[in-house]
Amino acid sequence: MAGNLKQVARAARVSLATASRVLSGSTYPVSPELRERVLAVAAELDYVPNAQARALISGNARTVGMLVGEVGDPYFDAMIDGVHRVAAEEGCLVTIIGTYRDTEKELASFRQLQSHGASIIIVAGSGIEENEYRTGLETRIESFAGMGRVVVMGRHHLNPTLNVIRVEADNRGAGRLLGEHLRALGHTHVGVLSGRANVTSTIDRITGLTEGLGRRPLVEEVPQTRDGGYAGAAALVRQDPDLTAIVGTADQMAVGALAYCKDHGISVPQDMSVAGCNDIWVSRDLTPSLTTVHFPLAEMGAAGLRLALATPVGGAGSQTFKVHLVARGSTGPSPDEQSGD
- Which CATH number does the domain housing residue 262 bear? 3.40.50.2300
Same domain, 77 and 208: no
Q: Give the model's pLDDT for residue 22.
A: 84
pLDDT in single tens digits along all 341 residues of the chain:
456 888 888 999 988 888 888 887 666 788 888 889 989 988 888 776 655 555 544 445 589 999 999 888 999 999 999 999 999 999 899 999 999 989 999 999 998 998 888 899 999 989 999 999 999 999 999 888 878 899 999 999 898 889 999 999 999 999 999 999 999 999 999 999 999 999 999 999 999 999 999 999 999 999 999 999 999 999 999 999 999 999 999 999 999 999 999 999 999 999 999 999 999 999 999 999 999 999 999 999 999 999 999 998 878 999 999 999 999 999 999 997 665 55
Backbone dihedral region for residue 143 (phi beyond 0: left; psi -120 to 50: alpha; all else: beta): alpha
Same domain, 162 and 230: no
Q: Give the model's pLDDT for residue 21.
A: 82
Q: Give the model's pLDDT for residue 315.
A: 84
Same domain, 138 and 181: no
Burial class of residue 29, CB neighbours in 10 A (0-12, 13-18, 19+):
exposed
Same domain, 206 and 330: yes
In a domain, 164, yes or no: yes
Same domain, 76 and 90: yes
Q: Which residues contact 134 (CB under 8 A, 6 or more apart)?
A: 127, 128, 156, 157, 158
Query: Are residues 99 and 111 in contact, defined by beta-carbon separation less than 8 angstroms?
Result: no
Complete edge-to-edge strand list for the sheet that includes strand 317-321 = 93-98, 63-68, 120-123, 149-153, 165-169, 317-321
- Dihedral angle at the C-alpha atoms of 45, 48, 53, 57, nearest 10 degrees? 80
Q: Give the model's pLDDT for residue 4.
A: 81
Q: Give the model's pLDDT for residue 72.
A: 87
CA 146 to chain centre: 25
Same domain, 180 and 289: yes
Same domain, 103 and 201: no
In a domain, 149, yes or no: yes
Alpha helices in the chain (DSSP H): 5-12, 16-24, 32-44, 51-58, 74-90, 103-115, 131-144, 171-184, 200-213, 226-239, 251-263, 297-310, 335-339
Backbone dihedral region for residue 235 (phi beyond 0: left; psi -120 to 50: alpha; all else: beta): alpha
Phi, psi (rounded to 5 degrees) for 41: -65, -40
In a domain, 199, yes or no: yes
Same domain, 139 and 70: yes
How far apart are the C-alpha atoms of 148 and 146, rounded to whole Å? Answer: 6
Phi, psi (rounded to 5 degrees) for 159: -55, 125
In a domain, 57, yes or no: no
Instruction: Say how many CA atoms lie within 13 Å of 328 toward its Cβ.
Output: 21
Domain count, the chain: 2
Q: Give the model's pLDDT for residue 313.
A: 84
In a domain, 28, yes or no: no
In a domain, 35, yes or no: no
Q: Give the model's pLDDT for residue 294.
A: 98
In a domain, 286, yes or no: yes
Same domain, 105 and 251: no
* Bridge-based pairing state of the strands 273-275 and 120-123: unpaired
Phi, psi (rounded to 5 degrees) for 192: -120, 130
Query: Are residues 192 and 339 in contact, defined by beta-carbon separation less than 8 angstroms?
Result: no
In a domain, 224, yes or no: yes
Could you list the residue range(s) of the whole structural domain that residue 264 is in? 171-295+326-339
Same domain, 159 and 176: no
Query: Are residues 125 and 80 in contact, defined by beta-carbon separation less than 8 angstroms?
Result: no
Query: Are residues 206 and 171 in contact, defined by beta-carbon separation less than 8 angstroms?
Result: no
Same domain, 335 and 216: yes
Same domain, 187 and 332: yes
Q: Give the model's pLDDT for residue 57.
A: 46
